[in-house]
Amino acid sequence: SLSNPDALLEKMIKYKPTGGTSFNNGIKKASQIIDNYHKPSKTNVVIFLSDGEDSTPEQDLRILSNTTSIVGGFFDLFGGNSHDQGSLQEMANIAKGYLPKSSNNKDSLKCEYVRVIDQINLIGHFYEDTAWPANY
């Protein structure tokens, strides 16, 4: 459940890298999940986490962003060491173009790219006793 961070983390830890990165497959799967489980009373948010590089899946991302059921937000979280995250930044910018115009207030959901490793290193710098790995 998304409401229990410990349970969510436990589920995510089970996944292991298998080599290769396919942003296209991830975006297609997000579209499939939204199509199958969309509830009008809920806001759909896609959190796209990657530790690798791939080309931008423009067509599938535009299809995902253009569906009437995704009106929430799109977040790219990058957890790798690579210096080339241009595709992830581009994905957030494409999704941002599909946000409803009424979503300009500060409390609305957004489309955003975040380099997670920078956040983790910052936390580690200020909190030496933290459980977060300070250096990758």
Query: How high is the pLDDT of residue 83?
Result: 60
- pLDDT single digits (tens) 65-102: 776 555 567 776 666 666 667 888 888 888 888 776 55
CA gap 100, 6 in Å, rounded: 33
Buried b (16+ CB within 10 A) or exposed e, 122-133: eebeeeeeeeee
| 30, 69 contact by CB (below 8 A) | no
**Mean pLDDT in residue range 17-42:** 81
Query: How high is the pLDDT of residue 130?
Result: 47
**Mean pLDDT of all residues in the chain?**
72
CA gap 80, 77 in Å, rounded: 10
- pTM of model > 0.95: no
Instruction: Tell me which DSSP letter residue 115 carries.
Output: E
